[in-house]
Structure 1
């Protein structure tokens, strides 16, 4: 599965992108290893649309098609922030539909730009200056923050369960270890429903004090507020709806991805959207975010993650 998935991904990348886009791809040489026994005249798409890899940095990915350029694609990253070269992006995801990457990852900042001014970049302890770099902490990723605190660098997480049932591919991760001392429990599930839209569902239980949740998603799209629970994202001629479903009161947020630190790289044209809400003490809450591509109908009744199959 790994060989064909990687090879097909690289084949698609090479044939769909301009040459300047892939020549610096550091994974490209892997084609010579993973593809050495494959007939290049008979490269076929993988038989499955969902893949999960566990290990130091567990990840999962799922897509509605390997050949449709308008297909939906979702990737989920877990692991721990303290791993080599990692960021505080536990539970973060990317999402594509209609040929647009709606939920993006800013990627790393050039190390030299930070090292030359004395940033303690290679210290991965909890209070290291590394985590003040804008692109490296959880405030600039498609994940969660509680009481505006950073994720726990030692908290290991994984893909706990997944499934590729027709019409409901999904990935589920227990993110609690990434938020030690901040919440009692935190689970995230991401699903592609009916091959039409995406659901990001978070189930959280607070400790014996009220907790402020910040839910974030990074996008290059133009953003317009529709109502107190919905935003419209536009990129070119394509649109997507961001809709929050919960019985809790929330405040939608939209802000430029800018930092007050002089050493942080600019993120021109990038916006962080999402919402903030106060979770009462000792309370279990559920937040369901629907990412609905243009013209798609989003019929999904919020179902506990433990019942996802």
Structure 2
């Protein structure tokens, strides 16, 4: 099979300080590639002119677009405007500038929330745009769908070798543990850690605990991204997950065990559940020879240990990654 990303390649990772971008950068370096990065203070990707100038000057062989405004149900529900506007600006800026600069390969990272709320499980890539979205994260999902359409448009009009990956729920070292903007798994780690520290008998969690979710360690995603850059050049976005899921109640029990919290968990059913289930069909990804390696319990343990050692357990972490 032809390697579509010759080694060594110069790859610009947009969003290298975030959970995904940092893991992708580490993985690329381990495969012998040169990684280009810029902090937000050096380059605001919402600024189309600055982004175009940067890519025109550096002319990388490939771009991984992992920069995004991200967050959980609370953040999406209370601050929908930046979730659609910031993501649209970043995507329009980076993808158009990459093509103008002659970048040969580009990988756009979306999210499993692009699929309809009641999509048939496991969700195949063909389910895109076949039904209504989950209302709590609709602005973010629509921004990501726009990114997919933008990539497809560059492929169809210009023959650009640009591709899309749709990861499931991600976690790992460098995750966002701020309770107002984090996703469910790091939020659970922090809630149980603080309850254990403070000697609380009970932790009250959002929703019913019945929704099912799939979780993939970010290092497994990074490996999938490098595999896609090397081996995939299709019009269809590719799902990346672990192929298994569990309920939020089961996840809470598992996180509590890993953290060592001995109290009880209860659920506030007045709070939203979100999508009932999101399990991805990953057959396209596994057909490329990739498979996840990190078990959920092991991944939660290493994520918790990394958070404690970083000292961030004593302070909130921001939600925006660039």
Q: Specify if TM > 0.5.
A: no
TM-score, normalised with respect to structure 1: 0.29
Please state which structure has a larger fraction of its residues in helix: 2
Higher relative contact order (CA 8 A, sep 6+): 2
